[in-house]
């Protein structure tokens, strides 16, 4: 009997750079190092280069290992669709290390398949909800910080001490806006913004 090929998939968002836990879990289970694919991006969709490369490798004789379902994806509909593509179209098996019920190698009977599908539905729903909650918490955190007076973006340049004189010369058309900006040591857009802010 032909030996099954083992593949591993890892995903980390760009914010959480630590992928060691996922890699160690895959290596411990016996996935060869050169058959582990990793993307560093959000789990909101499956438009990921390494995932696409991995998908091309999978066939009826492959087993794909992931540490947890949210590493595969966080979008409920897409996650269920990719699960179908891997198991039904590619005819590969999937094993979710953190959730033994999600192991398509066992329970190929009706009950096993039903249980696996049911657990997947619940977990992918939870994964998407968590993604929404993270976005909501970020939004609330930003809003709370704004209310506390925290400024986002690049720090504002302070107005030069002689700004009022430069501005007066510009208003009197003694100098152009380009010259005024140069005297203030800023871009013309910044000079215009300063003038606008003073006028408000």
Residues with catalytic roles: 13
Question: CA-CA distances (angstroms) from residue 177 to 63, 88, 167, 189?
Answer: 66, 65, 9, 10
| CA-closest candidate to residue 99, choices 124, 71, 68 | 68
Work out the angle at residue 23's Cα, subtended by the Cα atoms of residues 17 and 28, and round it to the nearest 5 degrees: 155
Structure tokens of 6? 């083992």
Residues 6 or more apart from 14 whose CB is under 8 A from it? 40, 41, 42
Which three-class secondary structure state does DSSP give residue 44? coil
């Amino acid at each position: 009997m032909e030996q099954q090929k083992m593949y591993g998939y890892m995903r980390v968002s760009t914010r959480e750079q630590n992928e060691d836990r996922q890699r160690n879990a895959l290596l411990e289970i016996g996935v060869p190092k050169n058959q582990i694919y990793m993307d560093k991006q959000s789990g909101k969709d499956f438009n990921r280069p390494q995932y696409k490369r991995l998908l091309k490798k999978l066939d009826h004789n492959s087993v794909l290992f992931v540490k947890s379902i949210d590493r595969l994806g966080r979008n409920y509909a897409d996650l269920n669709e990719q699960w179908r593509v891997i198991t039904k179209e590619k005819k590969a098996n999937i094993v979710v290390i953190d959730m033994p019920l999600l192991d398509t190698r066992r329970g190929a009977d009706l009950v096993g398949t039903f249980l696996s599908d049911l657990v997947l539905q619940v977990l992918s729903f939870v994964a998407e909800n968590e993604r929404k909650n993270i976005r909501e918490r970020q939004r609330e955190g930003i809003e709370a910080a704004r209310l506390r007076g925290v400024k986002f973006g690049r720090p504002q340049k302070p107005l030069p001490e002689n700004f009022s004189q430069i501005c007066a010369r510009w208003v009197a058309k003694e100098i152009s806006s380009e010259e005024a900006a140069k005297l203030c040591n800023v871009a013309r857009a910044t000079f215009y913004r300063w003038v606008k802010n003073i006028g408000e």
